[in-house]
Amino acid sequence: MSQRITVVEKILGANERLAETNRLALDQAGVFGLNLMASPGAGKTSLIEHTIRRLADRYQIAVVDGDVATSIDADRAAAAGAQAVQINTGGECHLDAVMLQEALAQLDLPSIDLLIVENVGNLICPANFQLGTHKSVLIASVPEGDDKPYKYPGMYQGVDALVINKIDLQPYIDFDMDYFRRGVEALNPGLVTFPLSCRTGQGLEDWLAWVGEWVERGR
């Protein structure tokens, strides 16, 4: 068992060192990087589309889409008006710093203000691999249930902001927001949280203002 732990530590250590290199590249180019994580179907791509369309008149935006297969999400990001790079992980359940470095090499970083990384849909692995982005955001959604902070504590502990998507469905789904928030608060006190609905647009302004504020800080 100790040998396995040592190997894992070496892998994570090497990943973190490369993540620092990625962060330096973003900083030198004046790019603010976001790592978006969520389970499949929580609304990552929908939130990215709204963000691109609402901020494209102010910033140059690029998207790196990680998925096991297909380029569906990258195509949607490009259609919304962003530069887009697709990473197919070939079965891996997360992006890592090596994959992001390869994607950054395909982008003209000095021309970009905002980089959005759409991680692979998963509530376990992505939390363990730093990419080099400035902020990590977890997207939860009402249909997933209010027990997710209790079942997947690692994801909630390591993020800088939380989006609660599909709040328009609350009247139709047994979702206890207070119970959900208590679980989040126990793991990540004071976490910046954005309840919103990509379908109706409710709450999007606060999210966009937060993203815009961080982009401006890095320019």
- Is the pLDDT confidence value at 168 over 60? yes
- CA-wise closest residue to 42 among 132, 161, 143: 143
Secondary structure of residue 88 in the 3-state scheme: strand
- Is the pLDDT confidence value at 63 over 80? yes
Q: Rounded to whole angstroms, how far apart are CA atoms 139 and 141?
A: 7
The residue whose two tokens read 């990943």 is 15
The domain that contains 139 carries what CATH number? 3.40.50.300
**What's the domain range around 166?**
2-218
174 burial level (CB within 10 Å; 0-12, 13-18, 19+) = exposed
Count how many domains the chain has. 1
pLDDT digits (tens, 9 = 90+) for 2-14: 444 443 445 567 8
Contact at 8 Å (CB) between 117 and 131?
Answer: yes
Contact at 8 Å (CB) between 44 and 118?
Answer: yes
pLDDT digits (tens, 9 = 90+) for 130-152: 999 999 999 999 999 999 999 99
- Of the chain, the percentage scoring pLDDT greater than 90 comes to 73
Q: Rounded to whole angstroms, how far apart are CA atoms 107 and 112?
A: 8
Q: Which of 41-45, 83-87, 126-130 has the lowest mean pLDDT?
A: 126-130
pLDDT digits (tens, 9 = 90+) for 172-203: 999 999 999 999 999 999 999 999 999 999 99
